[in-house]
Structure 1
Amino acid sequence: MGSVREELRSPLILTAAPQQIYCGTLYQHQQHRTPEQVSAFFADGPPPPLTTDGATGLILHNEAHTHTVDQVAALLAETETAGRITSTERKTLAELPAVEITAELKARMVERDTGDQHASAEAGGSGMDSTQMLQSRHVAALESHCQTFRDRYGLPVRVRPEYARIEFIVGSIGAVTMPAHIGAPVKVRLLEQPHGRLGPIISHPRSKRWTFLVCPDLPDETALFAELFRHNVTVAPRGSEVALPSPGASPVGYREWVYEPTDGFRPAGTNVIDAFRWCLSQQNPAT
């Protein structure tokens, strides 16, 4: 490992907030350096953060190292304990490869802390704490977009002001997520069908995945889920939360529209899976 100053300049933490830089680097020192080196870092490093939790250091540490399945599971458990994700989200994330789990958690961490920093700066002298300022700044825009999503596009969305995001609960609408390099040809294939149309598609740039919003007509079959899992494709379980691109979100490339909703149309989940299978057969003709 390099010096403390080299670590602070590493690509791993260029987008992190100061408290994340401190916690992440300190965590690495505690795991890999001698007590004397950790003490030196305390003496020369930035002041300790006002608030933090173990998840911050773990996320940054996991991004820089290869970990076992058990260690990744521990990271998800710690992140849930810290209130960053729900138990349902943890189960969904656990189905992804380790590198994509870390990318998703890192994006959530930076998104949250960037918003908190902006709110803290604006709240100075106003008598409001950062959480109140963040909510007052975003909630009106979020509610306005929610109303549009509900009335115009039939999306049963809700506002999560604590995360400054819009989301829906999987039930009357489903979600199928796959790697972007597969999602792109699936999108083309859907349009090529007779009367081909697209429903809303969300991109997750950091993890390089796309989510198709669908009519939830997929059978609850172990064989189907096993087939999809082999190709890193997941079907969001009923009751899980799916976040949409939201106005005023921090510019960290966490969620973007590939195809915004234009009406209430969503393709059948079975049609999306059929398109996925067809695209896979074209990539691997022998299979």
Structure 2
Amino acid sequence: TGDLDGDGRPDLIVGFVSEQLAVDPGSVVAYSGLDRSVLFSLTGQGPYDDFGRSVATGLLDGDGNADIVVGSKYGAVGNPDPTLVETYSGLDGSNLWMMPWPAGESASPRIDRVWTGDFDGDARDDVALSIDSGGSFLAHLYLLSGVDGSTLAILSEPSVPIRDGCVGVGRFDGDAIDDLLVADRYAMQSVLALSGADYSVLREFAWPRPAASAPVTPPSVAGDVDGDGIDDVVFGWSDGPPTHAGQAFVYSGTDGTLLFPWSGS
């Protein structure tokens, strides 16, 4: 992760979630990358919070140190003001802002991963998260300002196929705004790179699997593999032929063409 304590070394954040959600809301612990000592720890609000299910870091508050974004998969049951996302200063663990339960969502929204990137061009990282509305497979992708948590945009099915949500953040069009990689393995096996500036489709990638039932790993941003200044995308297929050892495929972020496959041994 990023440098939380300003010592010039990357540090580590770990989310701890329990199978006993009724009594353990979950926690997040920040460790020094220098000596593995505990910098600080954070705890969820209450039962079933699932605090720490997803964690990310980004430069949110402008002090130059990495800050922490924590997703609570369900939101604390019984809490009159439940939150799904909370952000904290990486320097001292103080709270920066929270995302309350979204108006109009079901009584049991669930989130998967949280991501950070600069989507509004203010030189501070913002937050992207996907919400599954109570298991209905109706997904909403929220983009939140890293400064104050205000909503930058909400992208929704069916206009954008995002049932697997945001699966990565990268640079796909060469501008100064981070872009989004979204996926939906149920809708024509769609994987799209969306502009972080206006959410238009920059690129569509072919999902490399032979059938809808084939086990796959959601795609990820691979970084600039081919050295053209644009991030590329990697897909995994855990049951690839002929030995079922699995395969991975790297696609160009510039034009969506296959760069090369890898096969397991």
What TM-score does the superposition give when structure 2 sets the normalisation length? 0.30
Greater helix share, 1 or 2? 1
Higher RCO (CA 8 Å, separation ≥ 6 residues): 1
Larger CA Rg, structure 1 vs 2:
1
What TM-score does the superposition give when structure 1 sets the normalisation length? 0.28
